[in-house]
Amino acid sequence: MVSVGRYCIDRWEAHLVRVGENGEESVHAHYERPVRGATYRAVSSPEVFPQAYVSRVESEAACRQAGKRLCTLGEWYRACHGPRGQVYPYGNHEERSRCNSGKPHLLSHLFGSNPSRWKYEEHFNSPRLAQEPRFLARTGEYAECVSGEGVMDLVGNLHEWVSDKVDSTLPAKVPLQEDVLKKVGPRTGHAIFMGGFFSTTSEHGRGCRFTTIGHEATYHDYSTGFRCCRDATP
């Protein structure tokens, strides 16, 4: 983990290991949904595919199993923009090649260009999406997508769940794009994920400010991932 003031944050996006009844562990496929009722532990390590298709509820449970917790929005945002308050982990101006973002829309590529035909389980949660070559990257593969304190892939690759809920305090926590700001009231109580994924650029905000507030805590699809935090040891 990386120490950032009073807390620590995982250097890499999380993958899952399944914990059996006798404590035995096995790596869970990053392109498969977590099995209902199973126990998972979050693991942060380099050069592996991070876990997609995961909800905030499942992310929180996996962090707890690892002796950690889901990051707050403030912790995630501070780790991303750094002590200088930069828009991107690496600076104030976007450099498209540095992070895994801006790629074509995979749903259109694999399932046709008519969104009305896309179904939540069949298409948004299809295992094919996280296995398509040159889209989802291994942790740390984009070596220049790193914060000044050494945290990788905070922008792009996978959206990352945070523990906050949408409420009236949200605009004070992160600079929101105008269209997102207008939706705060109607979406009070929704969960939040940050940073964008491999097919986004600035639709919901630039870089560290990319904030998505449109889903419940049980939502999951091929773009949703997470990393964990914990309090720093005194």
The per-residue pLDDT for 16 is 98
- Residue 100 main-chain phi, psi, to 5 deg: -85, 85
List pLDDT tens digits, range 87-117.
Answer: 999 999 999 899 999 999 999 999 999 999 9
- Residue 25 main-chain phi, psi, to 5 deg: -125, 145
List pLDDT tens digits, range 112-136.
Answer: 999 999 999 999 999 999 999 999 9
Domain 2-102+133-231 has CATH 3.90.1580: yes
Exposure b/e, 211-222, CB count within 10 A at least 16 = b = bbbebebebbbb
The per-residue pLDDT for 169 is 96
List pLDDT tens digits, range 142-164.
Answer: 999 999 999 999 999 999 999 99
| In the chain, domain spans | 2-102+133-231
Check whether 173 has a pLDDT greater than 80: yes
Confidence of residue 217 (pLDDT cuts 50, 70, 90): very high
The per-residue pLDDT for 96 is 87
- Residue 208 main-chain phi, psi, to 5 deg: -65, -15
For residues 119 and 125, is the Cβ–Cβ distance under 8 A? no
Residue 205 gets the label, from left (phi > 0), alpha (psi -120 to 50) or beta, of: left
pTM to 2 decimals? Answer: 0.95
Q: How far apart are the first and last CA of the chain?
A: 15
Mean pLDDT over 200-207 rounds to 96
The per-residue pLDDT for 233 is 81
List pLDDT tens digits, range 70-80.
Answer: 999 999 999 99
List pLDDT tens digits, range 33-56.
Answer: 999 999 999 999 999 999 999 999
The per-residue pLDDT for 167 is 97
